[in-house]
Amino acid sequence: MAYSDKVLDHYENPRNVGSLDKNDPNVGTGMVGAPACGDVMKLQIKLGKDGLIEDAKFKTYGCGSAIASSSLVTEMLKGKTLDEAESIKNSAIAEELALPPVKIHCSVLAEDAIKAAINDLKSKK
């Protein structure tokens, strides 16, 4: 399948790959999986003192679209409030990356990962 240039760019140069300390009270970790394709995605956000997301890291094992979706999301999250982060929709991710219909579920996975990370962070407060 042909990937869009944006997917290829994120796939070849993924942004913010790595991990944050999951035990840090200001770090939220979201772990989600797409059972049908065996993908697994970990997204972590770190909330700064000003209530804005100061850092975001991801680690994804999966197809190019899943990697690109999570990489893009870490860029989108930085500088946002939790409410703004929570309102990020998968359609925005899919549109930005020009994902074909069969890969929309990768953007859904990234949206789920954001929600899971925020829930984890909130449960620590």
Partner 1 sequence: MKFFEIFEIKPSFKICQNNLKKKFLELQKKYHPDNYASASDHEKTLALLNSSMINDGFEILKDDLYRAEYLLKCNKIELNNQTNPEFLIKQMEYEDYLEENSHDLNKIEMLHIEIAQILECEIEKLTILFNQKNLVEVSNKMNELIFLSKFKTKLKQRMHQTI
Answer yes or no whether residue 61 interacts with partner 1 by CB under 8 A: yes
Rounded CA separation 106/70 (Å):
9
Token pair listed for 96: 């930005």
Binding mask 63-82 for partner 1 (x = CB under 8 A): --------------------
Active site residue 63: no
- Chain positions 84 to 123 lying near partner 1, rule: CB under 8 A, are none
Rounded to the nearest 5 percent, the helix, strand and coil shares of the chain are 45, 20, 30
Instruction: Decide if 37 is catalytic.
Output: yes
Q: What is the largest CA-CA distance in the chain?
A: 44
Q: Is 48 in the site for partner 1 (CB under 8 A)?
A: no
Q: Give the span between the Cα atoms of 69 and 92, in whole angstroms.
A: 10
Of the pair 37, 98, the CB lying nearest partner 1 is at: 37
Position 21 contacts partner 1 (CB under 8 A): no
Q: Residues in the site for partner 1, rule: CB under 8 A?
A: 31-33, 35-38, 40, 42, 59, 61
